[in-house]
Amino acid sequence: MWFRIATVLLVLWALIGCFSCIQQMRLGADAMGAATDYDRALYAALPGWYDPVFATAVLTGLVGAILLFMRRAAARPFLIASLLAIVVQFGWLFTATDIVAQKGMAETLAVPLVIALIALAAIWLATHARRNSWTI
């Protein structure tokens, strides 16, 4: 039963990620509420590959979560691809911009860390399910 609950929560989490991605592509800096001048400049400076990587992260995460819910071993590669896209997305943000200096470490790192930890937990769950023959 806990496995089913965990996979439903992963699917819901992935849907939230898809919504956030759509909102960012649609609204830009205003996706998270009233944007500052810094937020607007940051979003305007995002490289052209940034949104496709974001979309890859959330879509592969969603496919992986759905496959895991369906007890399919094929979930794991999708979840790994999602984590890799997350690392690229946030890796660039933290190394190529001054966002941490501008907004502070606590405000900037909390959400990306939670996202990465949930992605790692999903991969662990897929691996655990495979080892216990819960997936086909």
For 84-129, write each residue's pLDDT tens digit: 999 999 999 999 999 999 888 988 899 999 999 999 999 999 999 9
Q: How confident is the model at residue 136 (pLDDT cuts 50, 70, 90)?
A: confident
> What percent of the chain has pLDDT above 90?
74
Report the C-alpha gap between 68 and 108 in whole angstroms.
30
CB distance 90 to 112 below 8 Å:
yes
Q: What is the DSSP string of the chain?
A: -HHHHHHHHHHHHHHHHHHHHHHHHHHGGGGGSSPPHHHHHHHHT--TTHHHHHHHHHHHHHHHHHHHHTT-TTHHHHHHHHHHHHHHHHHHHHHHS-HHHHH-HHHHHHHHHHHHHHHHHHHHHHHHHHHTT---
Write down the pLDDT at residue 37.
Answer: 85
pLDDT of residue 27 exceeding 90, the answer is: no
The answer to whether residue 30 scores a pLDDT higher than 80 is: no
Give the global pTM.
0.90
